Structure 1
Amino acid sequence: MSAEAVRTRVARSARRPASHLPPRSLGRVAEVSRTFVGAWPVYDVSPLGAEPAVRVLYVHGGGYVDELVRPHWALIRTLVERAGARVVVPAYVLAPRGTADRSVPAAADLLSGLIEGGGAGGTVLVGDSAGAGLALAAAQWLRDRTGAQPSRIVLISPWLDVTMSHPDQEAIEAGDPMLARPGLREAGRLYAGTLAAEDPRVSPLRGSFAGLAPLTVFTGTRDVLSTDSRELLRRARADGAEVEFHEEPGLPHVYPLLPVPEGRAARERIVALVREAADG
């Protein structure tokens, strides 16, 4: 999208906010409740009639300006049904009202509460796109303040640097069917608020990876944000972090959420990682 398209979308959402409610069908397989943590509605989704085996904090994408949509809820349902997970899902305040200086500490507090809350299994932090950026920044924030970390961090097509300044992005953008740099820069500007775009709370790629939980990253080569994933791999390994890296040729942004064979394989791997945290 263009910068103007993002501004139009944000203005329309201010007049008529989109719904972030889960689909009714989710209630057939899960117990769904909602509370408020500060200004954030937070959904708690657990297996129906069973004790959850593991905890997941899922942070949704949408360029920081869009709400939860059906593909997000489909992945949440998969984690509940296939991994026996309790999935906590914040419908965080969107930009420009929700900015990184407030969103990152709030997400870190949610993550800390799940880690310290006890119960069976471990805690897995999952995010897609912009939500992956918020998730990683929250993990960095929590590490710096308490040293605590989840069992694993799973990042799906992460948006980690809102400056959109990588030299390879221009060539990738020409073949990207979903994203464009002008709109991403504008959405990133709105999310940054009073912070610099280079601040690690806004662009966690520019923060340290030392001391983070093991990372799993999924990206596709037709995603202008694939440069963020490749840079994460390089910087994280340089900082001594453990990274499992999946890059699928010819696939677009957030392909693990799509109904394609490679998407199904990625979801299978995510389910397996969450199950490993349950066993660990």
Structure 2
Amino acid sequence: MPSLRSRALSVALVAAGRRRRFATAEAVRARVAETARRPASHLPPRSLGRVADVSRTFVGAWPVYDASPRGIEPAAQVLYVHGGGYINELVRPHWSMIRTLVTQARARVVVPAYILAPRGTADRTVPVAADLLSGLIASGGAGGTVLVGDAAGAGLALAAAQRLRDRTGDQPSRIVLISPWLDLTMSHPDQAAIEAADPLQARSGLLEAGRLYAGTLATDDPRVSPLHGSFAALAPMTVFTGTRDVLTTDSRELLRRARADGVEVEFHEEPGLPHGYPLLPVPEGRAARDRIVELIRSAAEE
């Protein structure tokens, strides 16, 4: 049973019309057109600079932020890949999570503001993300590197890990996926029933966002939809999902396929919780964040 605060937040999200952002293909196209006219900011909040040393570099055209705990040596490294359906920039809940990883896990957190769809497509985006992950592992050692992604960013993170495995065999110490979007075909037969209870997302809008990100690739290409790729020899995974998330089918399929390929999966499915709940100010979200912090601290000790 979800907490009272979680239930109240779900009602508030519906009332605020948040689901409309991905309600239809037309809504997604309108969002993309608006972003093209007036690009959203991906800058970190100034409050992060009070607790972390924050810098920015560029990897090609990507701004990449680097946040480290102020005054102490980082205990671990994290590559954090943000969500937003591949069409939205970093927003405050992402930066709040990043702040938690810096201050509580004492991690150096590297955060790419990757190019959004339709300019940024999977064939261009996945190789750059894999290069970032490879560089982070090389600079700090695989034992202290954790790959974290939420929603669309979790899909990009997993695709990058698969590409790096195929290229060099390297992996981070752990992959943490928060409400992952892993199959952009949106074809699972259980999704129709789940969608009716999802306060945030709808399949038609997600299909359009996925089409834009796929570019010239098929939506079932593993670079676009890493659920269709191989899980063999990937790092151990931790997955968080909620039953009021139309994308929870992706997490369930990942659990089945990854374990079949011999990958360790720690799986958290919260009844009644919506998409992205570990980023939300609810008790279940706090518990998920605490577990992520534990995992990063454990990686530092390996």
Unaligned runs of 5+ in 2: 1-22
Q: How far apart are the structure 2 equivalents of 1:158 and 1:105?
A: 19
Provide the residue aligned with 2:271 in structure 1: 249
Q: Residue 122 of structure 1 is aligned with which of 144, 168, 174?
A: 144
Q: How far apart are the structure 1 equivalents of 2:31 and 2:163?
A: 30
Task: Say if 1:221 and 1:250, in contact at 8 Å, map to a contact too.
Answer: yes
Provide the residue aligned with 1:101 in structure 2: 123
**In terms of mean alpha carbon deviation, does 91-100 or 113-122 score higher?**
113-122
Provide the residue aligned with 1:52 in structure 2: 74
SS in 2 for 1:154: strand
1:213-247 Cα distance to aligned partner (Å, 9 max, x none): 00000000000000000000000011111100000
SS in 2 for 1:219: strand
Alpha-carbon shift at residue 121 of structure 1 (Å): 5.5
Alpha-carbon shift at residue 120 of structure 1 (Å): 9.9
Q: Sequence identity, in percent?
A: 83
Alpha-carbon shift at residue 51 of structure 1 (Å): 1.0
2:86 partner amino acid: Y
1:199-223 Cα distance to aligned partner (Å, 9 max, x none): 0000000000000000000000000
In the superposition, relative to structure 1, how do residues 121 and 238 fare at CA in structure 2: closer, same or farther (>3 Å)? closer
1:117-149 Cα distance to aligned partner (Å, 9 max, x none): 137961000000000000000000000010000
2:95 counterpart of 1:73: yes
Task: Say if 2:191 and 2:249, in contact at 8 Å, map to a contact too.
Answer: yes
Provide the residue aligned with 1:22 in structure 2: 44
The runs of at least 4 consecutive aligned structure 1 residues that moved more than 3 Å come to none
Provide the residue aligned with 1:239 in structure 2: 261
SS in 2 for 1:148: coil
Provide the residue aligned with 2:163 in structure 1: 141
Q: How far apart are the structure 2 equivalents of 1:74 and 1:54?
A: 18
Provide the residue aligned with 1:175 in structure 2: 197
1:143-192 Cα distance to aligned partner (Å, 9 max, x none): 00100000000000000000000000000000000000000000000000
**Alpha carbon RMSD of aligned pairs, Å?**
0.9
Q: How far apart are the structure 2 equivalents of 1:192 and 1:103?
A: 10
Alpha-carbon shift at residue 12 of structure 1 (Å): 0.4
SS in 1 for 2:238: strand
